[in-house]
């Protein structure tokens, strides 16, 4: 079983992201693997452990994106590919999907492609579905449970209304949610392997792709307006009394 | 000189940091309040390889270097001292000492299960009537054929209630020429007949850590449990302290960082007289001191990690590292509490726990006073490193990553 996991490097979730001079800045906060993608790596590794085969991590980015790739390798991915091309700077989700689909195609024989449900920087959540469309594969998004049986797969999707069970034939694209289960930590052996790994770089030319023209432009970036928050402690002699006062205030403020 | 951490080091930091933050930070307050060790802490650290981080693969370890040990200790103690204390006694006092002084057979028999985290180790030197004065210990082991019979009591032993093995130093010669020559060290199986043990409660800090006493009543020790030769116990014990103190110093560095981060967070959010207290110079002075001390402490332990990797003795540098970092961590916690004001005095925030946890390390594994004597001894030329029969092996990546001895 050839398994691919697509990962993105993003600013640490603890970073304070602001707009400075029209550009997004996260200061000197470290770049890490997109936290949702860790679930995707975990799912990929579990499928490999259950079915045999290999897990290849793919990422798009500059040399710096190798840190995220190394995290996936340290968790247990067998190898990795970085698609590094200056023409991809400022790409939108469609360009990312075209690139990833072409890379998956080039690897050849891939039966499962895993993604995190979204990246915590752009937060679009479109790349899994767009990649599936380009590959012509079913998009099994928001997967919480994945069961493969021969060439078929059954997925429990974690959706707002509850769980939805869908079935499809492989190959397929999967996007992962937290309900799948905690991703493992890198092992020390994995860390050593990842630190020494030579990660091949592919360009758009290697993928026989023309530089994709973005269909989405970001004409202006701005910080969200700062919110004035005031805190009031409601006192009272008993929980009932405090709850009563709170209810009155909520009604007076027309929150309800 | 290269101050950059390697990718391996950075990934090690992140892995240990994520473990401590995800699994321990959410529950530590509760266990600290109840004065109970977290029951899954040691098994989890064992499963993740942290308990065998700096030993060769062929001895069941993870093949990382000694700097990785320090980095792990920093990350662990940034969440709670109890995690780092486990490293100090299991890795520092016990396993590293077997690695340094043990024979090949002893490493295979004892180091392998310790490094794999299948067995837990501790170090037992302190007694009810002695601490710093190692040569004054009363526990004794007399020869009986090829065995030894151990009697005595050890106190203030971390992991006493949980460990499978203790490295115990005891008197084997009641009338030696020099007091220090009559001691020998043994790796004692704590499940042996004649061993009783218990926990001590009511400690000021490290309340989620296990601390206790060990009592030995005619405990029979086969000769293969003697670590080093008979009469080498003082040297073995001092080597154990070199390793343990490194973990204490690197851990205390993490505690300074925790105080700094908590203070920065709180000072930026808390207003007084119309603006955040972070903009007040008297608060900035405290924060600057923590930031500076964190940097100094980190450089000191990185230096020790580097020396250990080279296979060089680091008794003096370890003493600087341990004394500076533990004293600075107590001061950082004290000032962090001050910055937090009344909230700092409450266990709603972490800083009161940091203060309680920091205090012990200024005493244990060689008090600040003992460290000052060591440092003065070197400065005055009264003390210098003599070669040991067994030095701590230098880090050798190629050899440490081989699964077996052969090849």
A171-199 mean pLDDT = 96
B330 is a domain residue: yes
pLDDT digits 0-9 by tens, A131-163: 999 999 999 999 999 999 999 999 999 999 999
CB contact under 8 A, A186 and B11: yes
CB contact under 8 A, B64 and A192: yes
Residues of A in contact with B75 (CB under 8 A): none
Cβ proximity of A128 and A139 under 8 Å: yes
**Domain range holding B353?**
235-379
As for how many domains chain B has, the answer is 3
Name beta bridge partners: A146: A155
Residue A175: φ, ψ to 5°: -120, 140
A228-242 mean pLDDT = 86
Cβ proximity of A59 and A8 under 8 Å: yes
- Taking the C-alpha atoms of residue B219 and residue B152, their distance in angstroms, rounded to an integer, is 10
What does the mean pLDDT of chain B come to? Answer: 96
A112 is a domain residue: yes
| pLDDT of B170 over the 80 cut | yes
Asked if B274 and B349 sit in the same domain, the reply is yes
Burial of B202 (0-12, 13-18, 19+ CB in 10 A): exposed
- Taking the C-alpha atoms of residue B369 and residue B290, their distance in angstroms, rounded to an integer, is 23
A212 is a domain residue: no
As for how many domains chain A has, the answer is 1
CB contact under 8 A, B63 and A189: yes
A213-228 mean pLDDT = 86
Question: Which residues between 1 and 40 in chain B have a beta carbon less than 8 angstroms from any beta carbon of chain A?
Answer: 6-8, 11-12, 14-15, 18-19, 22
Cβ proximity of A119 and A103 under 8 Å: no
| pLDDT of A178 over the 80 cut | yes
Q: Which among A30, A192, A198 is the top mutation candidate for probing chain B, defined by the most B β-carbons within 10 Å of its own β-carbon?
A: A192
pLDDT band at B385 (very low <50, low <70, confident <90, very high): very high
Q: What is the pLDDT of residue A225?
A: 86
pTM of the model: 0.91
B405 is a domain residue: no
Distance from CA of B103 to the nearest CA of A (A): 26
A48 is a domain residue: yes
A125 is a domain residue: yes
- Taking the C-alpha atoms of residue A127 and residue B79, their distance in angstroms, rounded to an integer, is 37
| pLDDT of B162 over the 60 cut | yes
B319 is a domain residue: yes
Asked if B85 and B54 sit in the same domain, the reply is yes
The two tokens of residue B44 are 């989890």
Q: What is the pLDDT of residue A233?
A: 83
How many other C-beta atoms can be found within 10 angstroms of the C-beta atom of residue B398?
6
Asked if B173 and B144 sit in the same domain, the reply is yes
Among B79, B102, B120, where does a domain finish? Answer: B120
CATH number of the domain bearing residue B331: 1.20.140.10
Nearest-by-Cβ selection for A191 from B11, B18, B22: B11
pLDDT digits 0-9 by tens, A43-99: 999 999 999 999 999 999 998 889 899 999 999 999 999 999 999 988 899 999 999
**Domain range holding A133?**
2-202
A16 is a domain residue: yes
B78 is a domain residue: yes
B114 is a domain residue: yes
Residue A110: φ, ψ to 5°: -70, 135
Looking at chain A, the whole-number percentage of residues with pLDDT higher than 70 is 100
pLDDT digits 0-9 by tens, B208-265: 999 999 999 999 999 999 999 999 999 999 999 999 999 999 999 999 999 999 999 9
CB contact under 8 A, A195 and B6: yes
Asked if B226 and B256 sit in the same domain, the reply is no
- Taking the C-alpha atoms of residue B152 and residue B196, their distance in angstroms, rounded to an integer, is 11
CATH number of the domain bearing residue A152: 3.40.50.620
Q: Length of chain B, please?
A: 407
Asked if B358 and B251 sit in the same domain, the reply is yes
pLDDT band at B404 (very low <50, low <70, confident <90, very high): confident
A249 is a domain residue: no
- Taking the C-alpha atoms of residue A8 and residue A60, their distance in angstroms, rounded to an integer, is 7
Asked if B250 and B223 sit in the same domain, the reply is no
B348-374 mean pLDDT = 97
Helix then strand then coil, in percent of chain A rounded to 5, is 30, 30, 40
CATH number of the domain bearing residue B196: 2.40.110.10
pLDDT band at B373 (very low <50, low <70, confident <90, very high): very high
A70 close to B (CB below 8 A): yes
Residues of A in contact with B8 (CB under 8 A): 191-192, 195
B386 is a domain residue: no
Asked if B225 and B256 sit in the same domain, the reply is no
| pLDDT of A29 over the 90 cut | no
pLDDT digits 0-9 by tens, B314-324: 999 999 999 99
B394 is a domain residue: no
Name beta bridge partners: B102: none
Residues of A in contact with B6 (CB under 8 A): 195
Asked if B170 and B211 sit in the same domain, the reply is yes
SS3 B122: strand
How many other C-beta atoms can be found within 10 angstroms of the C-beta atom of residue A245?
13
Among B209, B230, B251, where does a domain finish? Answer: B230
Angle at A190 (CA atoms; ends B20, B299), nearest 5 degrees: 55
CB contact under 8 A, A188 and B53: yes
Q: Which residues have CB under 8 Å from A118's CB, separation 6+?
A: A36, A124, A125
B315-344 vs B233-269: helix crossing angle, rounded to 10:
30
Asked whether the CA dihedral A243, A244, A250, A256 is positive or negative, the reply is: positive
How many other C-beta atoms can be found within 10 angstroms of the C-beta atom of residue B18?
16
A7-25 mean pLDDT = 89
- Taking the C-alpha atoms of residue A6 and residue A40, their distance in angstroms, rounded to an integer, is 8
| pLDDT of B406 over the 50 cut | no
B158 is a domain residue: yes
Strands (E), A45-161: 54-60, 79-83, 110-116, 139-149, 152-159
Q: Which among B6, B15, B44 is the top mutation candidate for probing chain A, defined by the most A β-carbons within 10 Å of its own β-carbon?
A: B15
A213 is a domain residue: no
pLDDT band at B405 (very low <50, low <70, confident <90, very high): low
- Where helices occur in chain A by DSSP H, the ranges are 35-51, 66-75, 93-107, 127-135, 188-196, 239-252
pLDDT digits 0-9 by tens, B55-89: 999 999 999 999 999 999 999 999 999 999 999 99
Nearest residue of chain B to residue A32 (CA atoms): B14
The residue from B230, B261, B365, B403 that is catalytic is B365
The torsion defined by the Cα of A42, A45, A51 and A57, in degrees rounded to 10, comes to 120
Asked if B113 and B15 sit in the same domain, the reply is yes
CB pairs under 8 A between A and B: 42
Asked if B216 and B246 sit in the same domain, the reply is no
Asked if B32 and B77 sit in the same domain, the reply is yes
B96-122 mean pLDDT = 98
SS3 B151: strand
Peptide bond into B359 cis (omega under 30): no
Asked if B73 and B106 sit in the same domain, the reply is yes
Active site residue B230: no
| pLDDT of B127 over the 80 cut | yes
A186 close to B (CB below 8 A): yes
pLDDT digits 0-9 by tens, B2-53: 899 999 999 999 999 999 999 999 999 999 999 999 999 999 999 999 999 9
The two tokens of residue B281 are 């110079």
Among B230, B252, B278, where does a domain finish? Answer: B230
Buried b (16+ CB within 10 A) or exposed e, A197-212: bebeebebeebebeeb
Residues of A in contact with B48 (CB under 8 A): 185, 187
- Taking the C-alpha atoms of residue B143 and residue B137, their distance in angstroms, rounded to an integer, is 18
Strands (E), B261-341: 271-272, 275-276
B49 close to A (CB below 8 A): yes
| pLDDT of A14 over the 70 cut | yes
CB contact under 8 A, B49 and A188: yes
A252 is a domain residue: no
């Amino acid at each position: 079983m050839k398994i691919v996991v697509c990962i993105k490097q993003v600013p640490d979730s603890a970073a304070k992201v602001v707009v400075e001079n029209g550009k997004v800045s996260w200061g000197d906060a470290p770049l890490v693997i997109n936290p949702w993608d860790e679930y995707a790596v975990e799912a990929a590794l579990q499928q490999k452990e259950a079915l045999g085969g290999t897990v290849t991590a793919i990422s798009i980015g500059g040399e710096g994106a190798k840190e995220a790739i190394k995290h996936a390798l340290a968790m247990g991915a067998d190898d990795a590919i970085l698609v590094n091309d200056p023409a991809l700077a400022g790409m939108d989700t469609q360009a990312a999907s075209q690139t990833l689909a072409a890379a998956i195609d080039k690897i050849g024989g891939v039966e499962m492609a895993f993604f995190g449900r979204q990246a915590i920087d752009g937060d679009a959540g479109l790349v899994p579905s767009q990649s599936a469309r380009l590959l012509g594969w079913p998009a099994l998004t928001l997967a919480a449970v994945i069961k493969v049986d021969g060439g078929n797969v059954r997925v429990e999707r974690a959706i707002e209304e509850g769980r939805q069970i869908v079935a499809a034939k492989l190959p397929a694209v999967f996007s992962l949610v937290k309900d799948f289960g905690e991703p493992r930590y890198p092992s020390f052996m994995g860390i050593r392997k990842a630190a020494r790994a030579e990660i091949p770089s592919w360009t758009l030319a290697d993928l026989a792709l023309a530089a994709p023209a973005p269909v989405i432009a970001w004409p202006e970036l701005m910080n969200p307006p700062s919110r004035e928050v005031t805190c009031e402690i409601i006192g009272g002699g008993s929980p009932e009394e405090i709850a009563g006062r709170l209810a009155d205030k909520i009604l007076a403020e027309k929150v309800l | 000189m290269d101050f950059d951490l390697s990718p391996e080091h950075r990934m090690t930091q992140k892995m240990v940091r994520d473990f401590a933050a995800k699994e321990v930070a959410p529950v530590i307050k509760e266990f600290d309040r109840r004065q109970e060790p977290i029951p899954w802490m040691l098994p989890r650290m064992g499963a993740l390889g942290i308990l065998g981080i700096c030993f060769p693969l062929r001895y069941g370890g993870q093949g990382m270097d000694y700097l990785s040990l320090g980095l792990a200790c920093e990350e662990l103690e940034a969440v709670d001292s109890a995690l780092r204390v486990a490293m100090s006694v299991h890795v520092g006092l016990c396993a590293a000492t077997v690695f340094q002084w043990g024979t090949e057979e002893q490493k295979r028999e004892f180091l392998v299960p310790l490094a794999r985290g299948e067995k837990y180790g501790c170090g037992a030197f302190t007694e009810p009537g002695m601490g710093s004065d190692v040569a004054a210990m009363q526990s004794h082991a007399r020869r009986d054929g090829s065995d030894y019979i151990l009697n005595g009591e050890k106190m203030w032993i971390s992991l006493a209630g949980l460990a499978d093995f203790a490295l115990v130093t005891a008197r084997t010669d009641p009338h030696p020429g020099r007091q220090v020559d009559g001691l020998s060290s043994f790796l004692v199986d704590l499940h042996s007949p004649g061993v009783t043990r218990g926990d001590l409660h009511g400690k000021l800090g490290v309340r989620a850590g296990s601390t206790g006493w060990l009592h030995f009543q005619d405990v029979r020790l086969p000769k293969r449990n003697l670590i080093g030769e008979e009469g080498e116990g003082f040297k073995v014990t001092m080597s154990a302290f070199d390793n343990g103190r490194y973990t204490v110093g690197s851990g205390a560095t993490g505690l300074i960082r925790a105080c700094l981060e908590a203070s920065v967070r709180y000072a930026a959010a808390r207003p007084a007289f119309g603006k955040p207290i972070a903009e007040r110079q008297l608060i900035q002075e405290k924060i600057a001191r923590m930031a500076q001390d964190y940097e100094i402490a980190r450089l000191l332990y990185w230096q020790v990690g580097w020396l250990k990797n080279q296979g060089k003795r680091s008794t003096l540098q370890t003493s600087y590292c341990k004394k500076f970092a533990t004293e600075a961590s107590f001061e950082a916690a004290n000032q962090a509490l001050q910055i937090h004001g009344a909230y700092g005095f409450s266990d709603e925030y972490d800083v009161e726990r940091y203060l309680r946890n920091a205090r012990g390390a200024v005493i244990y594994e060689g008090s600040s006073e003992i460290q000052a004597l060591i440092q003065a001894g070197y400065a005055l030329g009264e003390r210098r490193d003599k070669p040991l029969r067994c030095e701590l092996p230098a880090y050798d990546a190629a050899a440490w990553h081989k699964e077996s001895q052969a090849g």
